[in-house]
Amino acid sequence: MNRERVAWIVCICVLALFALQVPGSNASRDDDYAFVRKLVDIHRQVAANYVEPINEDKLRDGAIDGMMAELDPFSIYIPPAEQEGFDRMLEGSLKGVGIQLDMTDDGKVEVVTPIDDSPALKAGVMAGDVVLKVNGENVEGLKINEVIKRIAGPVDSKVTLTVRRVTGEEATLSMTRQEIVVPTVKGFGRKADNSWDFYISNDPKIGYIRITQFTPDTYDRLKNALVGADADIDDPKTYKGLIGEGMQALILDLRYNPGGRLDQAIKVVDMFVDKGVIVSTKGRNRPEHKEVAHAEGTLPHFPMVVLVNEHSASASEIVAGSLMDNKRALVMGNRSFGKGSVQEIMPLESKGGELKLTVAYYYLPSGRLVHRKKDAKDWGVEPQVVIPMDEVQSAIAMKQRLTAELMHRPTTGPATQQTIVMSATQPTDPQLDSAMKTMIGYVIFQGDRISSATTRPTTQPVH
């Protein structure tokens, strides 16, 4: 009995068993049989007649990748050899250069955002860059999974990316692959001891926290910054952190945040909201499920602005949109990315890898669909206050954030304190500048007075 016949008999047996276990119409089962019959026939013809010897593993994976490519960029097959790396990425650590990629409608591989502190960011990769070459080899026409495989590689090995900027210019950037532990909660800058300074204004006390991604420890790190790691949120007497120090308002910066763990996003919203729907999910074969806020574990109320831009995606859109719909925060910036789909990880039998499959969509409390479907005119989170930023401003603002977050080098002389004044020139980060002024104005309106000019500028000279 030849191999093709064995494969055909196995497929028929599997489908017969599947048909007995899974409800569905006879027409649906007939479609399954027809699909497998055609697949086996194609494989037989290729194996017998293709001009070159074939690699069975590559042929199998190619068939799977081709099927998944007809769905969306977020539904993918994860072979056994790649499961460990995929799981590490979900946990907030990964090996590579640290960029999130997406495929545009016209087939280009675009950088959604470089991950904070990653080799890619340090090498100059920017959100919106289109990847043209990897190690000098053209990637045009390749599927996103193939591009990712070419960029990935062993730790301490080098890779070169050629990208096209939004402005049309091309750049070739070299970087070294590393083990990346993703920091997710950051302040406005560093103190003298290299701990985070979470204030953008000292009087009034305006806090600033930037969440770069939602990983398993994001909620805990945010709680630590606001009230201290050991605090009981329901007992203000135990508070330390920003709120314990008398913070009067908060700016939560979710710009360039690609998303991550939904459970962490829900816990973050629940920290600020005491009742109402946080987010709901529903799909073709998934009943609607609503996540609801709880009064227990909610922080005291204080004024709050959330910043988003076109590179805020997934879980960051849930946080911003839910806080806005629940009237807990003012959202400022640009409309978010529109990645509002739910993926489930489905292990395959016989250690055959995993399937990451889109099964539902996210809906905000208002009922708004977050996900940007093809040809959609409405998606994501639309800020209540829209503040455009051009590419030059975005590039400078990102560079300034990176510079401000670097740890200080040791000094042999006495430390000096920089005099801080409000910038009188046109700000290069108008979104953050507007958020700061809005919060200061609100605090003043509530009756608190600024006793001295100690607010921080949102811009610094770039050298």
Please tell me the distance from the alpha carbon of residue 455 to that of residue 201, in angstroms, as a whole number.
Answer: 4
* Closest to 206 (Cα-Cα) out of 228, 188, 185: 188
How many alpha carbons fall within 13 Å on the CB side of residue 273? 26
Q: Is the peptide bond before 204 cis (omega within 30 degrees of 0)?
A: yes
What residue has token string 């806090």?
207
Cβ proximity of 160 and 134 under 8 Å: yes
283 three-class SS: strand
Residue 179: phi and psi, rounded to 5, are -80, 120
Please state, as a whole number, how many other Cβ atoms lie within 10 Å of the Cβ of residue 429.
24
- Sign of the four-CA dihedral 223, 89, 407, 171: negative
pLDDT at res. 85: 62
- Integer Cα distance of 317 and 365 in angstroms: 12
Exposure b/e, 189-218, CB count within 10 A at least 16 = b: bbeeeeebebbbbbbbbbbbbbbbbbbebb
Whether the CB-CB separation of 271 and 297 falls below 8 Å is answered with: yes
Contact assessment for residue 192 and residue 415, using Cβ atoms and an 8 Å cutoff = yes
Specify the pLDDT at position 363.
95
Predicted confidence at residue 451, as pLDDT, reads 41
DSSP code of residue 255:
T
At residue 221, φ and ψ (nearest 5 deg) are: -70, -35
d(CA 463, CA 458): 16
Residue 344, CA distances (Å) to 77, 138, 184, 340, 341 in order: 12, 32, 23, 13, 10
DSSP3 helix / strand / coil % (the chain, rounded to 5): 35, 25, 45
Task: Please tell me whether residue 128 adopts helix, strand or coil conformation.
Answer: coil
- Chain position carrying tokens 């191999």: 3
Confirm if 157 and 145 have CB atoms less than 8 A apart: no
Greatest C-alpha distance within the chain: 90
What is the mean pLDDT, run by run of 10 residues, along the chain of 463 residues?
Answer: 48 43 56 79 87 85 83 84 63 73 86 80 88 95 88 91 92 91 84 87 95 92 96 96 96 94 95 97 91 97 97 96 98 95 84 86 94 88 95 86 68 42 56 95 72 49 35
Measured in degrees and rounded to the nearest 5, phi and psi for residue 159 equal -145, 145
Residue 95: enclosing H or E segment and its boundaries?
Answer: strand 93-96
Residue 130 near residue 110, CB atoms below 8 Å = yes
Using DSSP bridges, classify how beta strands 341-347 and 249-253 pair: parallel, antiparallel or unpaired: unpaired
Orientation angle between helical segments 56-68 and 26-49, nearest 10 degrees: 140
| pLDDT on residue 22 | 46
CA angle 75, 81, 86 (to 5 degrees): 50
Whole-number Å distance between alpha carbons of 58 and 41: 18
DSSP symbols for 308-338: E-TT--THHHHHHHHHHHTTS-EEEES----
Query: What's the CA gap between 321 and 331, in Å, rounded?
Result: 8
